[in-house]
Chains A and B, each alone.
Chain A
Amino acid sequence: MNHDTYDDNYIRGILNNVKTIAMVGASPVNVRPSYFAFKYLAQRDYDMIPVNPGQVGKNLMGKPFVASLADIDRPVDMVDIFRNSDAALPLVKDALTLNPLPKVIWMQLGVRNDEACALAEAAGVKVVMNRCPKIEYGRLSSEISWMGVNSRTLSSKRAPIPTQGMRLSLNRVSVGGGGTSAADRAAQLKDDKNNNA
């Protein structure tokens, strides 16, 4: 499938259905993007598991760090990769040894590894690359609109009042699926740059 742009229904289906998320590269440092995303998703009632071998023995939002995916004591629905693109391949190989298999491999904003993606998809695992689940959740629920961000969704229904520890509805009308012409152009420019490099 095309990993430059995603249909909103694809992202919506993932965020509506996963419950347990292992975040590889979760940081206890409260100015790192992984910390923001971990905290936000935990407050949206996802069962978050921080994976970081350098932090074992500590907790993140009350959840104990584990050293690797193999050390997790329960089935994982989604592996969220907060590492660089090169690290994604061995991590996906690790994830594909889990039993049961995770349903989704999610690579963070700026992380893309097409080889790892192909491996996961061949095993029947859904893949999202170069996106942030916090931003996508905020966008599809329109919570991110409070920051002037274009959620690319519409709704004529009364909005829920966003509070901590609450799942928000992601089921708004999408304005043209996942992409915008600007997003397509950004992806195109990135491809051009990579090809020229």
Chain B
Amino acid sequence: MIDRLPGFATLAIHAGAQPDPTTGARSTPIYQTTSFVFNDADHAASLFGLQAFGNIYTRIGNPTNAVLEERVAALEGGTAALAVASGHAAQVVTFQALLRPGDEFIAARQAYGGTINQFTHTFKSFGWNVVWADADDIASFERAVTPRTKAIFIESIANPGGSITDIEAISAVARKAGVPLIVDNTLASPYLIRPIDHGADIVLHSATKFLGGHGTSIAGIIVDAGTFDWSRDNKYPILSEPRPEYHGIKLQETFGNFAFAIACRVIGLRDLGPALSPFNAFMILTGIETLPLRVQRHSDNAKAVAEFLSTHPAVAAVNYSGLPSSRYYNLARKYAPKGAGAVFTFSLKGGYDAGVNLVSNLKLFSHLANVGDTRSLVIHPASTTHSQLDDAAKTNAGAGPDIVRVSIGIEDKEDIIADLDQALRA
């Protein structure tokens, strides 16, 4: 038994995974089964009553998924995690545990377009009311707090703008308001930023992106930091009050500092149903083993590409937080000293038409609606990911009509730059 802190790369390979008890398989097996047998009636009752640790049904938990959950919890420095079917499912399950109809949450408007849609329209049909704030103006979060506020949501690195959020400043607002800070850490990955170290209470991922890295599998993760006292003032009754379907168990009293992850599992996942396929969990796990290598390469390549674009005559502006010219440069140096990530935007002097031409002239870049793939990716957000927003909301989100978003892959950077150069000249 050694008492030293293993490094990030060691955790990325080992955390949560142990040779299979039955077969000795070293790689985590894909437990592709819907259900698990009980030892006897008492064992079954203990599992259903949350009295014993164990597996019942893959909608609620699965051994392959559990390895993924512990792996990401370890990498983020949280107490527990829950894997779900997608990043969007992670958001629904998280907010379902926190909000009742009529409640509010504050969200940074610098957010992924799909998140803006989900919060604005679908959440409204649940009676969950989003109040937008500006991540570049901390006071806008303070002004948005009301007695109905139940949470604050930000992205650590915002999609698509690539801006860096001042997590500690917004965490202070959340703490003063007595609400948890939820940080989507998809674009940074825990290799670049660990939001819990800066005051996050819940961390969310679209694991589809850098955690998986291969662009093969959709998945989402909810990480419980174990830092929030859910029972302090009865604002979060799912965690503090007896649960009738579990015969009166109080979740925080019973599960302590991982009660939020348990609530998301035994209520949100159980009843909303967005379970992750064990096969997809296996794919994401396989990706995570190389996360530190990939994300460093992504970031190094992105910086080289951003530097190239910033001197290119056809380019009007490059919004990459890793460049000294960026308004987010100091925040990037504080929160993401190893690199500012792989996703950023730039605008072309030729405006909308030049952007459309660039996308069609690229030969190595793939034109698609994803980020965090090994491949270099490009998209015109105004006509795709952010097309359902009005023009003001597009611009607010960093997706104006002249903006092109890239996710820089881990190919040779000379090839990435050469492809952009030929497409800009074409």
Contacts and interface: CB of A to CB of B under 8 A. Distances in A.
Contacts of B227: 182, 185-186, 189
B21 interface: yes
A154 interface: yes
B235 to A, nearest CB: 15
Interface string B40-70: 0001001001111111000001010111011
A138 to B, nearest CB: 5
B368 to A, nearest CB: 31
A150 B254 contact: no
Given A40-B52, A144-B53, A175-B15, A159 B73 contact: no
Contacts, number: 156
A13 to B, nearest CB: 10
A64 to B, nearest CB: 20
B8 to A, nearest CB: 11
Given A148-B261, A150-B81, A156-B14, A31 B49 contact: yes
Contacts of B229: 189-190, 193
A156 to B, nearest CB: 7
Given A175-B11, A175-B15, A181 B197 contact: yes
B24 interface: yes
B416 interface: no
A99 B82 CA distance: 47
Interface residues of B, number: 64
Interface stretch (A46-54, A89-97, A160-168): A160-168
A161 B258 CA distance: 24
Interface in B125-184: 175
B3 A174 contact: yes
Contact of A158 (B24, B54, B255): B24
The 8 closest A-B pairs by CB, nearest first: A148-B69, A176-B5, A150-B73, A31-B247, A149-B80, A159-B21, A158-B19, A161-B21
7 contacts: A7-B3, A132-B256, A147-B53, A149-B261, A154-B14, A158-B19, A158-B21
Interface of A: 7-9, 12, 30-31, 33, 35-36, 39-40, 109-110, 132, 135, 138, 142-152, 154-164, 171-177, 180-183, 185-186, 189-190, 193
